[in-house]
Structure 1
Amino acid sequence: MIANLPENEEDRLKALQSYNILDSLPQKDYDDITRLASEICNTPISLISFIDSERQWFKSSHGAKVAATPKEYAFCAHAILKPDEVMMVEDATKDERFKDNPLTTGDPRVVFYTGVPLVNEDGHALGTLCVVDSQPKVLTESQIIALKSLANQVMAQLELRRKVKELDALTLELQKSNEYLERFALMASHDIKSPLTSIMLTGQVLKAKYHSSLDEKGNQMLDIVNSSASSLLKFLNQMLEYSKSYNILTQKKDEFCVNELIQEVLKLVSVPESFRVETPEDLLYIRTSAIALEQILINLLNNAVRYNDKDAGFIRLTFEEKADCYQFRVSDNGIGIEPKNYGKIFEPMVTLNSRDRYNKKGSGIGLSTVKNLVDSLGGQICVESVLNEGTTFQFTIRK
């Protein structure tokens, strides 16, 4: 008797194909499982079979030299019809389904058969782990339990195989993306450097030629233009270097004054005139990755501005030297964050569907980047917030 097709056969076959197991080479891990199944059940043959649209293919065949059989002969094609049950045939010669089956009447003379369906997380039975004998037999309850455990191990191997392949594909895709980003960074830096250099040169010429003709405020504005252009050029060069290697961002360490770095960062952040910014007066010199800390502060300060709905915005930066780390805090009086979202905000591509003071949605990249950088610097980051009152991000950097 030929087995009926399982329900959702098309989906089951797609699931089977997703594991890329059919026609793969023998593997010791699977062979160890079939050998152990035969030992436990005291049967000469044990098989790991998968049922595709036309055949029964064996990933491992202990005690039998067979790679596949026609699907219409397969005992396992019957077993997969009930994914939640173990199918036991004590004597196939007395079973209407199998008594005239070529596998029973001929070689290898399957008289006893027990198959445990191999079921994936979506409930699709892909095949079975089965044991076979040429004599009638009955398995004990403990043998069946052990066989089920071994079937679980087969599925664990299959899931691991699929995840490794998915990871390999993702790694390849990331490599391609990194190569594209590096090329883009090179082109973008070239396009940005030219006008930026022109701004710097023009500012320097104006300062040299007209400083005596300008009042104090005019000279201050020129100084701001020149200083900002210089900071941007330095920042651009650092980011170009980072685009070539992520490790450079966290492994290249320098000794510097945090207060000076904060002032440089504030020049790169568009802080509205109505905002009040408080920074520490005590000097702190640390040795770490300046560009990484710069990136962390830029992201946090930008968020403190963007997600603040107050006319009179307020931002406070503090730092403190601990025994084994440096501790930083960035506080604001913005819109706040619900406690249930504290963990989510550090996940990639999570935006909480909120819009900033400029009615724009975030990219969901900034805070995940901040967390990655803090982690790479051996620190931790956390958030405290009260809705409509403000938020404080606290992070550490290991000494």
Structure 2
Amino acid sequence: MSAGAERDRALAAYDVVEGPPRRELVALVDLAAHVAGVPYAAVNLLSSRQQHQVATTGFEGRTTPCDDSMCRQVVESGRPIMLDDAGRDPRFADNPWTTGEIAEVKYYGSHPLRTPEGVVIGTLCVFDSEAHPVTEEAARGLALLADRVVDVLELDLTSRRLGEANARLSTSNERLANFAGQVSHDLKNPLTAISLSLEALELEVTDDYQVETVARARRGVDRTNDMISTLLEFASQGDPPGDERVDLATEVEAALDDLAGRIDRSQVRVGPLPVVHGDATQLRSVLMNLIDNAAKFTVVGEQPDVEVGSQRVDGRHRVEVRDRGRGIPDDKRERVFAPLARLDKTVEGSGLGLATCRRVVEAHGGTMGVEPREGGGSVFWFALPAVDVD
């Protein structure tokens, strides 16, 4: 790609050529003129064909052909130019900016504006109609202010991209809510059929073990149905969770009940857990997901070894699910919480579980993370605001 085409692409991204001068850029050219002790300064941006004076002080900016631009020399070389009298320099002796056709520039200082990608898109330029010596202070000040011009352009670009991303996210959330509604409908239909079948089965079985097995299955169906409804509402509305008192010890027992077919109760040691404020169903889903993951990622050939406990840290309840699994590399610890992230594709999963857990925890005013466990394995933790229990 040619240098002119690279500049065109960069200027299109910054979107600064059209429209009124940006206040921050005008402030910078005012300061540049003051530092250099001259009446005129400009931010000159060069496309492949034209020079655009997007911010000026001491005169009104204009758009002129690149062939007439003094700053073209700076842009093409990538090096600053500082001159006592530009009219005596052979590069500018016949330029319309020095001959009087456009202006009568004598003192001239110009510093390149270089993007983070290394593309020189223009200059910060100061000039005067009178010749006078170039000082080291003026050259250093112009260089520093040129960097700030690029910072302003980058900040504005980042802000616009963030706004566009937020708009896309809003649209995505709306689509996700519609998708969640359809999935919820599709899940609840078989759950209803299962529930009816279990209800009929309860009338037939008499053996105590079978009665308890069916009852446990019914409780699991009821909790799953409740979980789908609650999480669907959370995904659709994005509202904060409720403010009920939630005994996490009770919820972890319910989670273990639901996980009875995936991990043996004897393989999970549960310590004291706090009472917090929030939504019981959502927090139960977090505990169930973390315990289920601890079992799924156990080293092949070994039995799950899971501990659930808590401690109070900096006024917060930190709940930990500790395992002796495969562990997570340092550079992957944050990635595991990204939607659809699956670091180990040998283990079944959608890649949405931990992302959902973090969203639930953050909606409760908490934080969530993972760290290595001493002796091997991982510690998945979440911290929630502490509450005083009467």
Aligned partners of 2:273 and 2:319 also within 8 Å: no
Aligned to 2:321: 330
**Using a 3 Å threshold, how does the CA distance of structure 1 residues 284 and 374 change in structure 2: closer, same or farther?**
closer
Q: Give the Cα–Cα distance (whole angstroms) in 2 for the partners of residues 107 and 8 of structure 1.
A: 26
Matched, 1:143 2:141: no
Shift of 1:241: 0.9
Matched, 1:384 2:372: yes
Q: Which amino acid aligns with 2:378?
A: T
Aligned to 1:262: 252
**Using a 3 Å threshold, how does the CA distance of structure 1 residues 38 and 327 change in structure 2: closer, same or farther?**
closer
Aligned to 1:3: none
Aligned partners of 2:227 and 2:285 also within 8 Å: no
Matched, 1:100 2:94: yes
Q: Give the Cα–Cα distance (whole angstroms) in 2 for the partners of residues 187 and 362 of structure 1.
A: 17
Shift of 1:226: 1.3
Aligned partners of 2:324 and 2:377 also within 8 Å: yes
**Using a 3 Å threshold, how does the CA distance of structure 1 residues 256 and 97 change in structure 2: closer, same or farther?**
closer
- Higher mean C-alpha deviation, range 14-23 or range 370-379: 370-379
Aligned partners of 1:274 and 1:311 also within 8 Å: no
Shift of 1:384: 2.9
Aligned partners of 1:271 and 1:305 also within 8 Å: no
Shift of 1:261: 1.0
Aligned partners of 2:358 and 2:367 also within 8 Å: no
Shift of 1:282: 5.9
Specify the SS of the correspondent of 2:113: strand
Matched, 1:296 2:286: yes
- Higher mean C-alpha deviation, range 328-337 or range 41-50: 328-337
Q: Give the Cα–Cα distance (whole angstroms) in 2 for the partners of residues 169 and 26 of structure 1.
A: 22
Aligned partners of 1:93 and 1:111 also within 8 Å: yes
**Using a 3 Å threshold, how does the CA distance of structure 1 residues 293 and 124 change in structure 2: closer, same or farther?**
same
Aligned partners of 1:276 and 1:312 also within 8 Å: no
Aligned to 2:63: 68
Structure 1, unaligned runs of 5 or more: 1-5
Q: Give the Cα–Cα distance (whole angstroms) in 2 for the partners of residues 298 and 345 of structure 1.
A: 20
- Higher mean C-alpha deviation, range 255-264 or range 45-54: 255-264
**Using a 3 Å threshold, how does the CA distance of structure 1 residues 262 and 390 change in structure 2: closer, same or farther?**
same
Specify the SS of the correspondent of 2:76: coil
Matched, 1:121 2:113: no
Specify the SS of the correspondent of 2:109: strand
Q: Give the Cα–Cα distance (whole angstroms) in 2 for the partners of residues 7 and 90 of structure 1.
A: 33
Shift of 1:137: 2.7
Matched, 1:232 2:220: no
Q: Which amino acid aligns with 1:318?
A: G
* TM-score, with length taken from structure 1: 0.86
Residue-by-residue CA offset, 1:304-353 (whole Å, 9 max, x unaligned): 02211244222222235679333322122222334x34744555269584
Aligned to 1:397: 384
- Higher mean C-alpha deviation, range 23-32 or range 310-319: 310-319
Residue-by-residue CA offset, 1:41-83 (whole Å, 9 max, x unaligned): 2222111110001110011121122321111000111111232
Residue-by-residue CA offset, 1:151-178 (whole Å, 9 max, x unaligned): 1111110010100111011101100110
Residue-by-residue CA offset, 1:167-226 (whole Å, 9 max, x unaligned): 01110110011000011111111222222122222322332x324xx3222222221221
Matched, 1:50 2:64: no
Aligned partners of 2:70 and 2:95 also within 8 Å: no
1:1-399 residue pairs with structure 2 within 5 A? 8-83=3-78, 85-105=79-99, 106-207=101-202, 209-211=203-205, 214-249=206-241, 252-269=242-259, 271-272=261-262, 276-280=266-270, 285-309=275-299, 310-320=301-311, 324-338=315-329, 340-341=330-331, 343-345=333-335, 348=338, 353-356=343-346, 358=347, 360=348, 363=351, 365-376=352-363, 377-379=365-367, 381-385=369-373, 389-399=376-386
* TM-score, with length taken from structure 2: 0.88
Q: Give the Cα–Cα distance (whole angstroms) in 2 for the partners of residues 382 and 88 of structure 1.
A: 55
Aligned partners of 1:383 and 1:392 also within 8 Å: yes
Aligned partners of 2:263 and 2:292 also within 8 Å: no
Q: Which amino acid aligns with 2:317?
A: Y
Shift of 1:394: 3.7
Q: Give the Cα–Cα distance (whole angstroms) in 2 for the partners of residues 159 and 150 of structure 1.
A: 14
Structure 2, unaligned runs of 5 or more: none
Aligned partners of 1:80 and 1:127 also within 8 Å: yes
Equivalent residues, number: 383
**Using a 3 Å threshold, how does the CA distance of structure 1 residues 239 and 394 change in structure 2: closer, same or farther?**
closer
Specify the SS of the correspondent of 1:210: coil
Q: Give the Cα–Cα distance (whole angstroms) in 2 for the partners of residues 75 and 323 of structure 1.
A: 61
Q: Give the Cα–Cα distance (whole angstroms) in 1 for the partners of residues 247 and 104 of structure 2.
A: 83
Aligned partners of 1:336 and 1:390 also within 8 Å: yes
Aligned partners of 2:112 and 2:123 also within 8 Å: yes
Specify the SS of the correspondent of 1:49: strand
**Using a 3 Å threshold, how does the CA distance of structure 1 residues 92 and 394 change in structure 2: closer, same or farther?**
closer
